[in-house]
Amino acid sequence: QIKVIIDCDPGIDDAAALAIALTNPKIDVQLITTVAGNVTVDKTTNNALKLVHFFDATVPVAIGAATPLLKPFEDAARIHGESGMPGYDFGDLYGTPIDKDAVTAMYDVLMASSEAITLIPTGAYTNIALLLRLHPEVTPKIKRIVAMGGSITRGNMTSTAEFNVFTDPHAAEIMYNAGIPVTMIGLDITLKALITPSTLAKLPELNEAGKMLRALITHYNDGGEEGVPMHDVNTIFYLLHPEAIETKPYWIDVVTEGPAIGTTVADIRGAYHGGKTNVEVAIDIDAAAFNEFMLLEVSEMDK
């Protein structure tokens, strides 16, 4: 089993990523932490708790940062709806967050673990940056970071910036330069691996989980006729099927001010950083395999 901590802002694609991580027997989710991003942190926390309850899981959920480190907070409710998880009635009965903030909870889980743990951020990296700054001694306990966010070719928030990095660029800079192996699962692949209308149409036929995910995705204001991106699901896909994603090491700098704020700049020619690298960037993906993965994972959900 791969031990992971998922740091997220559900969010429709976060919900799909959590659904797979919570139900796939190869993944052991030790902790879910939440952050402000798609919607405010009280909402992302409730959404995470609703999913844990839906899948009868017992994973603790800890509340994280309500705002980015320095930049003012801007949500993405226009993409994910006011609640962040619209279109499905999860009911009013679900758990409560644990009595520890996200950074303390991550610290405790990491320090108590005999083996190093993989961090999977699918929202802004605020909690992770705080963890690394406040408790640098956890570094050896982090096996690697597989992070949705960034891009070396395009943006989805501005013309060059991706939403998670745009939300908290200072946190991204800290995370990329912490000396921990980081894989950037960015728009370069997530916009290639669209979930096609035919995959989407099959989801509700599979089970209740498929109905739930289809309902959420119907309200997702991203993508077009060719299909919808499920950005955050690509992290879990990579964890389980690294052979389906091609990566390349680059030095990544984060723009932290001005019109290009939140842009991740790859030193493609190696001219600025002398060929040194700090991030493994996902550059290509088998989109058909990603669609098959989505269907197979949902079909095996016991719900």
Residues in contact with ligand BDR by CB under 6 A are 11, 13-14, 38, 76, 79, 122, 148, 156, 162-164, 231-232
Residue 273 beta carbon to ligand BDR: minimum distance, rounded to whole angstroms: 25
Written as one string, the DSSP assignment of 150-193 is: --SS--SSSSSB-HHHHH-HHHHHHHHTSSS-EEEE-HHHHTTS
Round to whole Å and give the CA distance between 20 and 126: 24
Nearest residue (CB) to Ca ion, 122 versus 190: 122
Nearest residue (CB) to ligand BDR, 39 versus 63: 39
Nearest residue (CB) to ligand BDR, 43 versus 141: 43
Name the binder of 162 from Ca ion, ligand BDR, none, CB < 5-8 A by kind.
Answer: ligand BDR
| Count of residues of this chain found to bind Ca ion when the rule CB under 5 A is applied | 6
Name the binder of 76 from Ca ion, ligand BDR, none, CB < 5-8 A by kind.
Answer: ligand BDR
Nearest residue (CB) to ligand BDR, 38 versus 291: 38
Q: Which two tokens stand for residue 229?
A: 């991106």
Name the binder of 29 from Ca ion, ligand BDR, none, CB < 5-8 A by kind.
Answer: none
* C-alpha closest to that of 33 among 17, 49, 21, 22: 49
Q: What is the 3-state secondary structure (H, E, C) of 113-160?
A: CCCCEEEEECCCCHHHHHHHHHCHHHHHHEEEEEEECCCCCCCCCCCC
Residue 139 beta carbon to ligand BDR: minimum distance, rounded to whole angstroms: 24
Nearest residue (CB) to ligand BDR, 116 versus 265: 265
Residues 213-272 that bind Ca ion (CB under 5 A): 232
- Asked if 151 is part of the footprint of Ca ion (rule: CB under 5 A), the reply reads no
From first CA to last CA, the distance across the chain in angstroms is 21
Among residues 60, 84, 121, 123, the one that binds Ca ion under rule CB under 5 A: 123
Binding mask 10-49 for Ca ion (x = CB under 5 A): -x--x-----------------------------------
CA distance readout (Å), 158 to 20, 127, 161, 162: 29, 23, 5, 7
Q: Which of 135, 231, 241, 273 is catalytic?
A: 231
Catalytic residue list contains 231: yes
Count the alpha carbons within 13 Å of 45 in the hemisphere toward its beta carbon.
Answer: 20
* C-alpha closest to that of 164 among 46, 282, 74: 74
Q: Which two tokens stand for residue 232?
A: 């955050």
Residue 172 beta carbon to ligand BDR: minimum distance, rounded to whole angstroms: 12
Name the binder of 180 from Ca ion, ligand BDR, none, CB < 5-8 A by kind.
Answer: none
Query: Which residue's CB atom is positioned nearest to ligand BDR?
Result: 163
Q: Which residues of 144-165 are buried (b: 16+ CB within 10 A; e: fewer)?
A: bbbbbbbbbeebbbeebbbbbb
Catalytic site positions? 231
- Tell me which residues touch Ca ion (CB under 5 A): 9, 11, 14, 122-123, 232
